[in-house]
């Protein structure tokens, strides 16, 4: 009798759970059908997880497929619709003409976990973001951004980078650390007031955990965290993201403490000094967002953004240049004809080096380090191409489609600097070239990145011939798609180019 009742109870529980599950799935399917009727077309989402599995299986193929649905596509990373903008025209309409409606940032649990909403890059579109961004731009300009002083720092660092690479002349080596260290030293000189030697183990470790976090945040574990943020209370690989972020913030806090102890109010040395003075200045202002947590995260934002994006672009550049030896040789010949082997390049040389300048831009176009842009969010209800877009809808820009649009590029699917040269062999920039995005959220470090890319790449091509190691396979050109699209690790061989060649 008891056994019969127990089996009956278990059967009842099992049946009830099955009915609840069926009801939830049916409700989700009805919700998806209702949602799809109001949004632009897109791939069919799965219940609860949306189109996320398709993306995770092959991120670049998924992004490339978006433009088949038209100017706008709807995808679902989880249950919420995200609108993808596939053309330069619709991107301008949203991010420039309707900037106030499309300049938000959605909450991304894995990143909010480590930033607490502070800083600049991921901050909500509002008062704090405006104050922090305005202050950062003003302060960076005061410390040389866009001026000859920063150019000179980049040129000097370019000499260190060339020397570092030629230490292992003729032998295969991974250039990642040297490039990352060189690029990072520029923003470090502005933010921390100092550069770091290439053999500094502490700094090498920080650069490694920075790279690891950028990859992990956009990986499978990062996406799972975004769907199920409560897992932050449990052990697992996601805890490494938090630990790495805390170590980086600890490094910045140590620098802040050192600056606080040696601060001269009349002679600020760098961004941290300027921020400490601003905190003091704003103490009596109830509206101020200047405090230590915002200082740490704003500094981290500048350090991260000023390190990984440019160094990743240069690494892609080396791959394209080794795959296209004719381009590498033409750049070198042009550089030596104008500069010789010893004069360091400056930004004033761009007009005299049109092919090299075009090559730098083509590296950015094909490197495509942000294939879906940096995510935005609507700050209020908006209308686009006849669709009503609710407040707090995530927005992505399909830079992959825009940077390879056959209507805007002569050679959309191949690496060819001719994409940036007119019929008279002068440099020109098509309107579809927007690796730094558009509108109020345009990349804060655009000026610095342009300076670094031109001077570093020109310096390297002036003095070094890059070759692919014999017998080694070329890397998968889709790379690793995360917060930044980066190439997988690879080796190169360097040979010095000198006046006797």
Give tens-digit pLDDT for 48-65.
Answer: 788 999 998 999 999 999
What pLDDT does residue 27 have? 64
**What CATH number is associated with residue 270?**
1.10.630.10
What is the number of helices (H) and of strands (E) in the chain?
A: 18, 10
What pLDDT does residue 28 have? 64
Whether residue 269 lies inside any domain: the answer is yes
Is the domain of 242 the same as that of 101?
yes
Helix (H, G, I), strand (E, B) or coil at 449: helix
pLDDT higher than threshold 70 for residue 399: yes
Query: Which residues form the domain of 141?
Result: 63-496
Q: How confident is the model at residue 445 (pLDDT cuts 50, 70, 90)?
A: confident
pLDDT higher than threshold 80 for residue 500: no
Is the domain of 71 the same as that of 20?
no
Q: How confident is the model at residue 110 (pLDDT cuts 50, 70, 90)?
A: confident
Is the domain of 289 the same as that of 171?
yes
H or E segment to which residue 357 belongs: helix 354-367
What pLDDT does residue 21 have? 67
What pLDDT does residue 31 have? 62
Is the domain of 22 the same as that of 131?
no
Whether residue 259 lies inside any domain: the answer is yes
Is the domain of 101 the same as that of 6?
no
Is the domain of 16 the same as that of 93?
no
Whether residue 441 lies inside any domain: the answer is yes
What's the domain count of the chain? Answer: 2
Whether residue 53 lies inside any domain: the answer is no
What pLDDT does residue 174 have? 96
Q: How confident is the model at residue 220 (pLDDT cuts 50, 70, 90)?
A: confident
What pLDDT does residue 135 have? 92
CB distance 82 to 75 below 8 Å: yes
What pLDDT does residue 121 have? 86
Give tens-digit pLDDT for 190-204.
Answer: 999 889 999 999 888
What pLDDT does residue 3 have? 54
Average pLDDT over residues 193-220: 87
Asked which of 214-218, 307-311, 371-375, 455-459 is least confident by mean pLDDT, the reply is 214-218
Q: Which residues contact 257 (CB under 8 A, 6 or more apart)?
A: none
Of 109, 383, 328, 332, the closest CA to residue 225 belongs to 109
Average pLDDT over residues 360-389: 95
Whether residue 224 lies inside any domain: the answer is yes
Is the domain of 18 the same as that of 82?
no
Whether residue 52 lies inside any domain: the answer is no
Q: What are phi and psi of 481, to 5 degrees?
A: -95, 115
pLDDT higher than threshold 60 for residue 29: yes
pLDDT higher than threshold 70 for residue 489: yes
Strands 382-384 and 387-389, bridge-based pairing? antiparallel
H or E segment to which residue 107 belongs: none
What pLDDT does residue 499 have? 53
Edge-to-edge order in the sheet of strand 72-76 = 72-76, 81-85, 394-397, 376-377
Q: pTM for this one? A: 0.92
Asked which of 136-150, 182-196, 295-309 is least confident by mean pLDDT, the reply is 136-150
CB atoms within 10 A of CB 225: 24
Give 219 or 23, the one with higher predicted confidence.
219
Average pLDDT over residues 69-96: 94
Q: How confident is the model at residue 418 (pLDDT cuts 50, 70, 90)?
A: very high
pLDDT higher than threshold 80 for residue 392: yes
Beta strands in 378-483 (DSSP E): 382-384, 387-389, 394-397, 464-467, 480-481
Is the domain of 151 the same as that of 13?
no
What pLDDT does residue 280 have? 92
What pLDDT does residue 377 have? 95
pLDDT higher than threshold 50 for residue 122: yes
Whether residue 426 lies inside any domain: the answer is yes
pLDDT higher than threshold 50 for residue 2: no
What pLDDT does residue 93 have? 96
Give tens-digit pLDDT for 89-105.
Answer: 999 999 999 999 999 99
Is the domain of 396 the same as that of 478?
yes
pLDDT higher than threshold 80 for residue 475: yes
Strand partners, 83: 74, 395
Average pLDDT over residues 258-279: 93
Whether residue 47 lies inside any domain: the answer is no
Asked which of 1-15, 261-275, 375-389, 460-474 is least confident by mean pLDDT, the reply is 1-15
Is the domain of 210 the same as that of 87?
yes
The DSSP code sequence of 260-325 is: HHH--TTS--SHHHHHHHHHHHTTT-TT---SHHHHHHHHHHHHHHTTHHHHHHHHHHHHHHHH-H
Is the domain of 107 the same as that of 170?
yes
What pLDDT does residue 23 have? 62
Average pLDDT over residues 287-298: 92
Mean of pLDDT over the chain? 90
Q: Say how far apart CA 365 and CA 402 lie, in whole Å.
A: 10
High-pLDDT (> 90) share of the chain, %: 66
Asked which of 23-27, 443-447, 463-467 is least confident by mean pLDDT, the reply is 23-27
Is the domain of 5 the same as that of 82?
no
Q: Say how far apart CA 385 and CA 145 lie, in whole Å.
A: 38
């Amino acid at each position: 009798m008891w056994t019969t009742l127990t089996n009956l109870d278990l059967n009842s529980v099992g049946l009830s759970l099955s009915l609840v599950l069926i009801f939830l799935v049916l409700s989700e399917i009805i919700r998806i059908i209702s949602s799809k009727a109001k949004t632009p077309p897109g791939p069919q989402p799965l219940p609860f997880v949306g189109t996320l599995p398709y993306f995770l299986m092959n991120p670049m193929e998924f992004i490339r497929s978006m433009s088949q649905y038209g100017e706008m596509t709807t995808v679902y990373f989880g249950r919420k619709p995200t609108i993808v903008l596939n053309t330069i025209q619709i991107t301008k309409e949203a991010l420039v003409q309707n900037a106030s409606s499309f300049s938000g940032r959605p909450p991304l649990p894995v990143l909010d976990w480590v930033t607490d909403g502070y800083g600049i890059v991921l901050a909500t579109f509002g008062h704090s973001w405006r104050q922090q961004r305005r202050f950062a731009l003003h302060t960076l300009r005061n410390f040389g951004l866009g001026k000859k002083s920063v150019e000179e720092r980049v040129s000097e660092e370019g000499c260190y980078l060339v020397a570092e690479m030629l230490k292992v002349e003729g032998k295969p080596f991974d250039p990642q650390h040297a490039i990352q260290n060189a690029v990072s030293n520029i923003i470090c000189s502005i933010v921390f007031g100092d550069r770091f030697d290439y053999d500094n183990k502490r700094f090498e470790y920080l650069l490694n955990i920075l790279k690891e976090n950028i990859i992990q945040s956009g990986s499978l574990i990062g996406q799972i965290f975004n769907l199920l943020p409560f897992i932050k209370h449990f052990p697992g690989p996601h805890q490494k993201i938090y630990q790495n972020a805390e170590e980086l913030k600890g490094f910045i806090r140590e620098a802040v403490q050192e600056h606080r102890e040696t601060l001269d109010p009349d002679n600020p040395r760098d961004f941290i000094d300027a921020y400490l003075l601003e905190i003091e200045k704003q103490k009596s202002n109830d509206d101020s967002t200047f405090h230590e947590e915002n200082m740490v995260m704003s500094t981290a934002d500048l350090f991260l953004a000023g390190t990984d994006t440019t160094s990743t672009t240069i690494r892609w550049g080396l791959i394209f240049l080794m795959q296209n030896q004719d381009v590498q040789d033409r750049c070198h010949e042009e550089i030596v004809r104008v500069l010789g082997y010893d004069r360091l390049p400056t930004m004033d040389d761009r007009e005299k080096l049109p092919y090299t300048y075009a090559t730098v831009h083509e590296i950015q176009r094909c490197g495509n380090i942000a294939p879906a842009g940096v995510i935005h969010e609507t700050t209020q209800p908006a209308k686009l191409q006849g669709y009503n877009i609710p407040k707090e809808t995530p927005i992505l820009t399909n830079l992959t489609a825009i940077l390879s649009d056959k209507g805007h590029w002569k050679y959309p699917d191949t690496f060819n600097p001719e994409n940036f040269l007119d019929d008279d062999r002068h440099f020109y920039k098509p309107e579809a070239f927007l690796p730094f995005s558009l509108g109020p959220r345009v990349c804060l470090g655009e000026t610095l990145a342009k300076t670094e890319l031109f001077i570093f790449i020109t310096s390297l091509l002036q003095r070094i011939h890059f070759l692919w190691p014999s017998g080694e396979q070329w890397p998968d050109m889709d790379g690793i798609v995360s917060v930044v699209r980066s190439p997988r690790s690879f080796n190169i061989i360097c040979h010095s180019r000198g006046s006797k060649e």
